[in-house]
Protein backbone atom coordinates (compact mmCIF):
# COMPACT_ATOMS: atom_id res chain seq x y z
CA UNK A 1 0.00 0.00 0.00
CA UNK A 2 1.36 3.39 -0.92
CA UNK A 3 0.53 6.24 1.42
CA UNK A 4 -0.39 9.58 -0.01
CA UNK A 5 2.25 12.31 0.26
CA UNK A 6 0.43 14.29 3.03
CA UNK A 7 0.29 11.11 5.15
CA UNK A 8 4.01 10.45 4.66
CA UNK A 9 4.85 14.02 5.77
CA UNK A 10 2.67 13.59 8.85
CA UNK A 11 4.49 10.35 9.83
CA UNK A 12 7.87 12.08 9.39
CA UNK A 13 6.81 14.98 11.62
CA UNK A 14 5.71 12.56 14.34
CA UNK A 15 9.01 10.62 14.07
CA UNK A 16 11.22 13.71 14.29
CA UNK A 17 9.15 15.14 17.13
CA UNK A 18 9.56 11.88 19.07
CA UNK A 19 13.31 11.83 18.40
CA UNK A 20 13.64 15.40 19.59
CA UNK A 21 11.66 14.60 22.72
CA UNK A 22 13.86 11.57 23.39
CA UNK A 23 17.01 13.68 22.89
CA UNK A 24 15.77 16.37 25.24
CA UNK A 25 14.86 13.74 27.85
CA UNK A 26 18.36 12.27 27.59
CA UNK A 27 19.98 15.67 28.07
CA UNK A 28 17.86 16.34 31.16
CA UNK A 29 18.82 12.93 32.57
CA UNK A 30 22.53 13.56 31.96
CA UNK A 31 22.18 17.00 33.54
CA UNK A 32 20.61 15.45 36.65
CA UNK A 33 23.40 12.88 36.87
CA UNK A 34 26.00 15.67 36.67
CA UNK A 35 24.26 17.61 39.43
CA UNK A 36 24.11 14.48 41.61
CA UNK A 37 27.81 13.86 41.07
CA UNK A 38 28.56 17.47 42.04
CA UNK A 39 26.63 16.97 45.28
CA UNK A 40 28.46 13.65 46.00
CA UNK A 41 32.14 14.25 45.15
CA UNK A 42 34.32 11.24 44.54
CA UNK A 43 36.71 10.30 47.32
CA UNK A 44 40.32 11.04 46.40
CA UNK A 45 42.22 7.79 45.86
CA UNK A 46 45.80 9.00 45.31
CA UNK A 47 46.61 11.52 48.02
CA UNK A 48 50.12 12.99 48.28
CA UNK A 49 51.34 14.96 51.30
CA UNK A 50 54.21 17.41 50.78
CA UNK A 51 55.28 17.99 54.38
CA UNK A 52 55.78 16.03 57.62
CA UNK A 53 53.07 17.96 59.44
CA UNK A 54 50.48 17.18 56.76
CA UNK A 55 51.79 13.57 56.73
CA UNK A 56 50.89 13.28 60.42
CA UNK A 57 47.40 14.67 59.88
CA UNK A 58 46.77 12.46 56.83
CA UNK A 59 48.12 9.12 58.06
CA UNK A 60 45.58 8.31 60.81
CA UNK A 61 42.56 9.52 58.81
CA UNK A 62 43.14 8.06 55.34
CA UNK A 63 41.78 4.66 54.33
CA UNK A 64 44.21 1.85 53.42
CA UNK A 65 45.47 2.45 49.90
CA UNK A 66 44.25 6.05 49.77
CA UNK A 67 47.73 7.51 50.30
CA UNK A 68 49.91 7.67 47.18
CA UNK A 69 52.98 9.01 49.02
CA UNK A 70 54.23 10.90 52.07
CA UNK A 71 57.30 13.10 52.44
CA UNK A 72 60.55 11.23 53.04
CA UNK A 73 60.88 12.94 56.45
CA UNK A 74 58.07 10.64 57.64
CA UNK A 75 60.61 7.80 57.66
CA UNK A 76 63.09 9.61 59.95
CA UNK A 77 62.48 8.47 63.56
CA UNK A 78 64.18 11.57 64.95
CA UNK A 79 61.31 13.69 63.59
CA UNK A 80 58.47 11.30 62.83
CA UNK A 81 56.37 9.22 65.25
CA UNK A 82 55.15 7.07 62.33
CA UNK A 83 58.57 6.05 61.01
CA UNK A 84 58.25 2.50 62.33
CA UNK A 85 54.71 1.99 61.04
CA UNK A 86 54.96 3.14 57.42
CA UNK A 87 55.15 -0.36 55.98
CA UNK A 88 55.11 -0.15 52.18
CA UNK A 89 53.91 3.46 52.05
CA UNK A 90 55.70 5.28 49.24
CA UNK A 91 57.85 8.32 50.03
CA UNK A 92 58.93 11.26 47.88
CA UNK A 93 61.74 13.77 48.12
CA UNK A 94 59.61 16.81 47.35
CA UNK A 95 60.59 17.25 43.71
CA UNK A 96 57.79 18.24 41.36
CA UNK A 97 58.61 15.53 38.80
CA UNK A 98 58.36 12.87 41.52
CA UNK A 99 54.94 14.07 42.59
CA UNK A 100 53.59 14.30 39.03
CA UNK A 101 54.70 10.70 38.43
CA UNK A 102 52.49 9.62 41.34
CA UNK A 103 49.36 10.79 39.43
CA UNK A 104 47.81 12.45 42.52
CA UNK A 105 44.14 13.38 42.68
CA UNK A 106 44.73 15.39 45.87
CA UNK A 107 47.91 17.10 47.12
CA UNK A 108 48.12 18.36 50.71
CA UNK A 109 50.50 21.19 51.63
CA UNK A 110 50.76 23.53 54.62
CA UNK A 111 49.27 26.98 54.07
CA UNK A 112 52.72 28.61 54.24
CA UNK A 113 54.33 26.27 51.70
CA UNK A 114 55.43 27.74 48.41
CA UNK A 115 57.82 26.34 45.79
CA UNK A 116 56.64 22.89 44.72
CA UNK A 117 53.08 23.47 45.96
CA UNK A 118 52.63 26.64 43.92
CA UNK A 119 54.20 25.14 40.80
CA UNK A 120 51.98 22.05 40.99
CA UNK A 121 48.94 24.27 41.36
CA UNK A 122 49.93 26.33 38.30
CA UNK A 123 50.31 23.08 36.35
CA UNK A 124 46.71 22.23 37.15
CA UNK A 125 47.19 19.67 39.92
CA UNK A 126 44.67 19.65 42.80
CA UNK A 127 46.63 21.26 45.66
CA UNK A 128 44.81 21.90 48.94
CA UNK A 129 46.56 24.17 51.44
CA UNK A 130 46.03 23.04 55.03
CA UNK A 131 45.97 25.40 58.00
CA UNK A 132 48.23 23.62 60.47
CA UNK A 133 46.79 23.55 64.00
CA UNK A 134 48.28 25.70 66.75
CA UNK A 135 46.45 24.21 69.72
CA UNK A 136 45.14 20.84 70.88
CA UNK A 137 41.57 21.87 70.02
CA UNK A 138 42.92 22.93 66.62
CA UNK A 139 44.16 19.37 66.06
CA UNK A 140 40.61 18.05 66.54
CA UNK A 141 39.25 20.62 64.07
CA UNK A 142 41.96 19.78 61.50
CA UNK A 143 41.26 16.04 61.75
CA UNK A 144 37.54 16.56 61.23
CA UNK A 145 38.15 18.85 58.25
CA UNK A 146 40.51 16.36 56.67
CA UNK A 147 37.96 13.59 57.24
CA UNK A 148 35.46 15.55 55.13
CA UNK A 149 38.05 16.21 52.42
CA UNK A 150 38.95 12.51 52.18
CA UNK A 151 35.42 11.20 52.57
CA UNK A 152 36.52 9.55 55.83
CA UNK A 153 34.32 11.26 58.42
CA UNK A 154 33.80 8.09 60.47
CA UNK A 155 37.52 7.38 60.69
CA UNK A 156 38.17 11.00 61.66
CA UNK A 157 35.62 10.64 64.46
CA UNK A 158 37.44 7.54 65.72
CA UNK A 159 40.78 9.38 65.70
CA UNK A 160 39.23 12.27 67.69
CA UNK A 161 37.64 9.85 70.18
CA UNK A 162 40.99 8.11 70.80
CA UNK A 163 42.71 11.48 71.10
CA UNK A 164 40.22 12.65 73.74
CA UNK A 165 40.45 9.34 75.64
CA UNK A 166 44.21 9.81 76.05
CA UNK A 167 43.64 13.36 77.24
CA UNK A 168 41.13 12.27 79.87
CA UNK A 169 43.44 9.52 81.11
CA UNK A 170 46.14 12.09 81.87
CA UNK A 171 44.06 15.10 82.93
CA UNK A 172 43.82 14.33 86.67
CA UNK A 173 47.31 12.93 87.25
CA UNK A 174 49.20 16.20 87.64
CA UNK A 175 46.60 18.59 89.04
CA UNK A 176 48.25 21.67 90.52
CA UNK A 177 51.83 20.72 89.58
CA UNK A 178 54.15 23.09 87.73
CA UNK A 179 55.96 21.80 84.65
CA UNK A 180 58.77 23.24 82.55
CA UNK A 181 59.46 21.89 79.04
CA UNK A 182 63.11 22.16 77.97
CA UNK A 183 64.58 20.95 74.69
CA UNK A 184 68.00 21.05 73.01
CA UNK A 185 69.96 24.25 73.68
CA UNK A 186 67.61 24.90 76.66
CA UNK A 187 64.86 25.94 74.25
CA UNK A 188 61.55 26.15 76.10
CA UNK A 189 57.99 26.59 74.95
CA UNK A 190 56.22 29.63 76.33
CA UNK A 191 52.60 30.09 77.32
CA UNK A 192 51.42 30.20 73.71
CA UNK A 193 51.07 27.39 71.20
CA UNK A 194 49.90 23.82 71.28
CA UNK A 195 52.61 22.51 73.64
CA UNK A 196 51.35 24.91 76.29
CA UNK A 197 47.77 23.78 75.69
CA UNK A 198 48.86 20.13 75.94
CA UNK A 199 50.29 20.78 79.42
CA UNK A 200 47.13 22.60 80.49
CA UNK A 201 44.92 19.74 79.30
CA UNK A 202 47.05 17.32 81.32
CA UNK A 203 46.30 19.32 84.48
CA UNK A 204 49.77 20.89 84.60
CA UNK A 205 50.65 24.54 85.12
CA UNK A 206 53.20 25.82 82.64
CA UNK A 207 56.16 27.11 84.68
CA UNK A 208 57.91 28.81 81.74
CA UNK A 209 58.93 32.40 82.58
CA UNK A 210 58.27 33.39 78.94
CA UNK A 211 55.07 34.11 77.04
CA UNK A 212 56.60 32.86 73.78
CA UNK A 213 59.13 30.15 73.01
CA UNK A 214 62.58 31.29 74.15
CA UNK A 215 65.97 30.09 75.33
CA UNK A 216 66.47 29.61 79.07
CA UNK A 217 69.74 30.29 80.80
CA UNK A 218 70.85 27.50 83.11
CA UNK A 219 70.27 29.86 86.04
CA UNK A 220 66.68 30.55 84.93
CA UNK A 221 66.08 26.82 84.55
CA UNK A 222 67.15 26.13 88.14
CA UNK A 223 65.51 29.21 89.68
CA UNK A 224 62.18 28.36 88.03
CA UNK A 225 62.18 25.27 90.26
CA UNK A 226 59.33 23.36 88.59
CA UNK A 227 57.76 20.27 90.14
CA UNK A 228 58.37 18.44 86.85
CA UNK A 229 61.14 19.06 84.34
CA UNK A 230 60.03 17.68 80.96
CA UNK A 231 63.03 17.05 78.74
CA UNK A 232 61.93 17.38 75.14
CA UNK A 233 64.30 14.84 73.69
CA UNK A 234 64.94 12.92 70.49
CA UNK A 235 66.44 9.49 70.00
CA UNK A 236 69.54 10.90 68.33
CA UNK A 237 72.46 13.17 69.30
CA UNK A 238 72.20 12.37 72.99
CA UNK A 239 75.74 13.63 73.59
CA UNK A 240 75.67 16.72 71.39
CA UNK A 241 76.42 20.22 72.68
CA UNK A 242 72.73 21.01 72.31
CA UNK A 243 71.95 18.31 74.88
CA UNK A 244 74.91 18.95 77.19
CA UNK A 245 72.95 21.18 79.61
CA UNK A 246 71.33 18.03 81.02
CA UNK A 247 74.68 16.96 82.46
CA UNK A 248 75.64 20.28 84.03
CA UNK A 249 76.69 19.73 87.68
CA UNK A 250 74.35 22.45 88.98
CA UNK A 251 71.31 20.86 87.35
CA UNK A 252 72.36 17.36 88.36
CA UNK A 253 72.74 18.51 91.98
CA UNK A 254 69.25 20.03 91.93
CA UNK A 255 67.73 16.87 90.43
CA UNK A 256 69.54 14.70 92.99
CA UNK A 257 67.62 16.36 95.82
CA UNK A 258 64.39 14.88 94.46
CA UNK A 259 62.67 18.27 94.60
CA UNK A 260 62.31 18.25 90.81
CA UNK A 261 61.07 15.21 88.94
CA UNK A 262 62.55 14.71 85.49
CA UNK A 263 60.51 13.16 82.69
CA UNK A 264 61.86 12.55 79.20
CA UNK A 265 59.45 12.63 76.25
CA UNK A 266 60.06 11.90 72.58
CA UNK A 267 60.10 15.21 70.73
CA UNK A 268 58.89 13.61 67.47
CA UNK A 269 55.43 13.29 69.00
CA UNK A 270 54.91 17.03 69.20
CA UNK A 271 57.27 18.44 66.60
CA UNK A 272 54.05 18.94 64.61
CA UNK A 273 50.60 19.55 66.02
CA UNK A 274 48.90 16.27 65.12
CA UNK A 275 46.94 13.43 66.78
CA UNK A 276 50.30 11.84 67.67
CA UNK A 277 50.84 14.60 70.23
CA UNK A 278 48.48 12.57 72.44
CA UNK A 279 51.38 10.12 72.84
CA UNK A 280 52.94 12.76 75.14
CA UNK A 281 49.93 12.42 77.43
CA UNK A 282 50.48 8.66 77.48
CA UNK A 283 54.15 9.12 78.34
CA UNK A 284 53.28 11.54 81.15
CA UNK A 285 50.56 9.23 82.47
CA UNK A 286 52.94 6.27 82.41
CA UNK A 287 55.59 8.24 84.29
CA UNK A 288 53.05 9.38 86.88
CA UNK A 289 52.04 5.79 87.57
CA UNK A 290 55.64 4.55 88.02
| Cα angle 143, 163, 206; round to 5 | 105
CATH of region 47-166: 3.40.50.1980
User: 212 or 156: which carries more pLDDT confidence?
Assistant: 156
Q: What phi and psi values does residue 34 have, to the nearest 5 degrees?
A: -60, -45
47-166 matches 172-289 in fold: yes
Superfamily designation of domain 172-289: Nitrogenase molybdenum iron protein domain (3.40.50.1980)
* Domain spans in the chain, listed from the N-terminal domain onward: 47-166, 172-289
Across residues 146-171, what is the average pLDDT? 92
Q: Is 195 helix (H, G, I), strand (E, B) or coil?
A: helix
CB 188 within 8 A of CB 216: yes
CB 250 within 8 A of CB 218: yes
For residue 218, the model assigns a pLDDT of 87
| Lowest mean per-residue pLDDT among 83-97, 116-130, 239-253 | 239-253
Give the tens place of pLDDT for each residue, 7-35: 334 434 433 344 333 332 333 333 333 32
Q: Is 232 helix (H, G, I), strand (E, B) or coil?
A: strand
Confidence (pTM):
0.79
10 Å Cβ neighbour count for 195? Answer: 25
In DSSP terms, 129 is beta-bridged to 109
Give the tens place of pLDDT for each residue, 73-119: 999 998 999 999 999 999 999 999 999 999 999 999 999 888 899 99
Amino acid sequence: MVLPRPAIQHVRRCFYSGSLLLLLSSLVLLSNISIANADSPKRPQRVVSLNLCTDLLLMPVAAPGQIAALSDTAANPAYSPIAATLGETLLHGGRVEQIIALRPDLILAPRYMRGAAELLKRLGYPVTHVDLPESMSGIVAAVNELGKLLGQQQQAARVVAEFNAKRLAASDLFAGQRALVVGPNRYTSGHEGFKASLLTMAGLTNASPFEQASVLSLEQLIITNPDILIIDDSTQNQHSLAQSFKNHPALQKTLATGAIRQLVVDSSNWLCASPYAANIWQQLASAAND
